[in-house]
Amino acid sequence: MSEVVLKSKETPIDFNTVQQKIKASGLPSVGKASIREIVRLVNEIEKETGDKYIRMEMGVPGLEPSAVGTEAEIAALRKGVAAKYPMIEGFADLKVEISRFVKNFMNIEVDSANCIPTVGSMQGAFATYLVAGRSNAKKDTVLFIDPGFPVQKQQLNVLGMKYEGFDVYNYRGEKLKEKLESFLSKGNISMILYSNPNNPSWICFTETELKIIAELANKYDVIVVEDLAYFAMDFRNDLSKPGVPPYQPTIANYTDNFMLLISSSKAFSYAGQRVGMMVISNKLFSRKYPDLLRYFKSDSFGYAMIYGAVYSLSSGCSHSAQYALAAMLKAANDGSFNFVEDVREYGERAKIMKKIFTENGFKIVYDMDEDKPLADGFYFTFSYPGMDGVELLERLVYYGVSAISLAITGSERIEGLRACVSQTSRSQFEDLDYRLRMFNKHYS
Ligand SMILES: Cc1ncc(COP(=O)(O)O)c(C=O)c1O
């Protein structure tokens, strides 16, 4: 049973039901639960009480999928692609569109052969651990620039692979160099992984920081895996025009030792079909790593990735979803579909929701990109004075508000929670305000 002390039983959601459901969940601590465990608990409470929560725990797209994708997928299914195994390296038209996409929206050149569809970026990350993470026998550890997406660490736990990480917030700008070097100079790091914009903090790396990461990756011969799950979603800049600057910032401008994971889940609201993109730099794709022969038939990085890792994991990626992605990318590349405009709503919501939180006594935890205020986007982080994140999360559940604790993300800011704005519609803002006001009244 929980040790968290609750100050009032006059909570917006029936106190006894919440308490009983928490107990029945068997969770040793609500505040430390995984994203999916919180989802299950809140589903149970909603079912029992009939009350609707402000659900901020899971990064589910809250928008309609792009019609361009859905229509192309239906057409592909009607054509009968479901009966056929897809090519493991991906359907040719899709590979071309991915290559065009990175040229148009990042201004980088990557051959279409080196652009591979994956079963979401989730699988993309798993495959990178299998190949990049095992490319050099002396380097057995993955380095996360944290805070980060908790499931990526779970993947490494499942594989029995080692990882290290550090919370980047205290090492922004030039300070990043010394910190990063303190890890890389030990010689055990095979690859660095970070997301940009960052899940959970919504930090966006500056060009100075990307340059530092790249320079050190070159110096220590480490592969950088840039996770662009929130591609073009730093809404402070308009990154939506193909072939026109500004572009999505990337490490690829500063090193050849890179791989990109680009998810279709958020930028194209296509999470359900589990299709993402892996882009491997031309140089890295053809590079030979003799130590890969421990696990794969080939020592060539790209070959091992496709015919070793991706083949073993799922024999490629859903055929019809590849058609959908190809169509969405083509429309974006041709300038007939502004995918960024469709998701800008998240930034608008975040701005209002942050205001509701701060007006009710809460604080924003990660709030700056070096000298610039943080962007408003898919996530934000918050805390309440005098409480750690574990207490805060459990208490908020009684007020009909769910989130996840930063403690499970590699963050040092254990007082904080991550809020995802995608599932909170504007019609719920009034409820959010009321619930936070009650909370503030009881705990201030
Ligand atoms: C940082 C990050 N990487 C990867 C993913 C997974 O993406 P996908 O749905 O393409 O597997 C997510 C999803 O929330 C994410 O936040």
Q: pLDDT by residue (tens digit) across 375-426?
A: 999 999 999 999 999 999 999 999 999 999 999 899 999 999 999 999 999 9
What is the Cα 128 distance to its own chain's centre?
15
Percent of the chain with pLDDT strictly greater than 70: 100
Nearest residue (CA) to ligand 1, atom 7 = 121
Residues 207, 78 share a domain: yes
CA of 122 to the centre of ligand 1 (A): 6
Q: Which of 398, 431, 410 is nearest to 366 (CA)?
A: 410
56: in domain? no
The pLDDT assigned to 90 comes to 98
Contact 325/275 with Cβ under 8 angstroms? Answer: yes
What pLDDT digit, counting tens, does each position of 211-269 carry?
999 999 999 999 999 999 999 999 999 999 999 999 999 999 999 999 999 999 999 99
CA–centroid distance, 308 to ligand 1, in Å, is 23
Question: Does the structure show a pLDDT above 80 at 62?
Answer: no
Gap from CA of 289 to ligand 1 centroid (Å): 28
Q: The domain that contains 363 carries what CATH number?
A: 3.90.1150.100
Question: What atom of ligand 1 comes closest to residue 275's alpha carbon?
Answer: 10
Instruction: Please indicate, yes or no, if residue 98 is contained in any of the structural domains.
Output: yes
d(CA 148, CA 76): 36
How many Å lie between the centroid of ligand 1 and the Cα of residue 264?
A: 9
State the closest ligand 1 atom to the C-alpha of 271, by its place in the atom list counted from 1.
9
Same domain, 323 and 352: no
Residue 2 lies in a domain: no
Cα 406 from Cα 414, distance rounded (Å): 6
Pick the more confident residue, 29 or 121: 121
Specify the CATH number for the domain of residue 102: 3.40.640.10
Q: Which of 121, 225, 420 to mutate to test the pocket of ligand 1 (most atoms within 8 A of CB)?
A: 121
Does a structural domain hold residue 292?
A: yes
- Residue 251 sits in which domain range? 67-339
pLDDT score of 34: 87
User: Among 308, 339, 370, which residue terminates a domain?
Assistant: 339
**pLDDT number for residue 217:** 98
Q: Is 133 inside a domain boundary?
A: yes
- Tokens representing 88 are 């493991």
pLDDT at 70 over 80: yes
Query: Do 179 and 117 have their domain in common?
Result: yes
In whole angstroms, how far apart are CA 396 and each of 345, 389, 404, 440? 25, 10, 11, 11
For ligand 1, atom 16: residue with the closest CA:
199
Q: Whose CA is nearest to atom 12 of ligand 1?
A: 229
In a domain, 3, yes or no: no
- pLDDT for residue 341: 92
Å from CA of 238 to ligand 1 middle: 22
* Phi (first) and psi of residue 66, to 5 degrees: -65, 130
Residue 69 backbone dihedrals phi, psi, to 5 degrees: -70, -50
Cα(5) to centroid of ligand 1, in Å?
34
- Is there a single domain that holds both residue 287 and residue 158? yes
Question: Which of ligand 1's atoms lies nearest the C-alpha of 263?
Answer: 10
Residue 80, burial from CB neighbour count under 10 angstroms (0-12, 13-18, 19+):
exposed
Q: What is the pLDDT of residues 147-176, one digit of tens each?
A: 999 999 999 999 999 999 999 999 999 999
- 358 shares its domain with 291: no
**Which protein residues touch ligand 1 with a CB less than 6 Å away?**
59, 120-122, 149, 195, 199, 227, 229, 263, 265, 271, 276
State whether 113 and 30 are in the same domain: no
Q: Which atom of ligand 1 is nearest to the CA of 195?
A: 1
Q: 243 with 116, same domain?
A: yes
- Asked if residue 8 is part of any domain, the answer here is no
User: Which atom of ligand 1 lies at the shortest distance from residue 198's CA?
Assistant: 1
Distance 229 CA to ligand 1 centre (A): 5
Bridge partners (DSSP) of residue 304 are none
Asked if 384 and 418 touch (Cβ cutoff 8 Å), the reply is no
Residues 199 and 139 in one domain: yes
Give the total number of structural domains in the chain: 2
Residues 358 and 415 in one domain: yes
Q: What average pLDDT does the chain have?
A: 96
The atom of ligand 1 lying closest to the CA of 119 is 11
Q: Which of 263, 318, 408, 420 to mutate to test the pocket of ligand 1 (most atoms within 8 A of CB)?
A: 263
Domain membership flag for residue 263: yes
Residue nearest to atom 15 of ligand 1 (CA): 229
> Which of 293, 315, 339 is the last residue before a domain boundary?
339
Give 345 Cα–ligand 1 centroid separation in angstroms. Answer: 19
What tens digit of pLDDT does each residue of 96-147 get? 999 999 999 999 999 999 999 999 999 999 999 999 999 999 999 999 999 9
Same domain, 301 and 204: yes
C-alpha 263 – ligand 1 centre gap (Å): 6
The amino acid sitting at 89 is E
pLDDT grade, residue 1 (50/70/90)?
Answer: very low
Same structural domain, 22 and 89: no
The residue whose CB lies within 8 Å of the most ligand 1 atoms, and thus the one to mutate among 35, 265, 418, 420, is: 265
Contact 235, 344 (CB under 8 A): yes
Contact 296, 289 (CB under 8 A): no
* Pair (393, 422) in one structural domain: yes
How far, in Å, is the centroid of ligand 1 from the Cα of 124? 10
> CA-to-CA distance for 346 and 359, rounded, in angstroms?
20
Question: Which of 311, 339, 367 marks a domain boundary?
Answer: 339
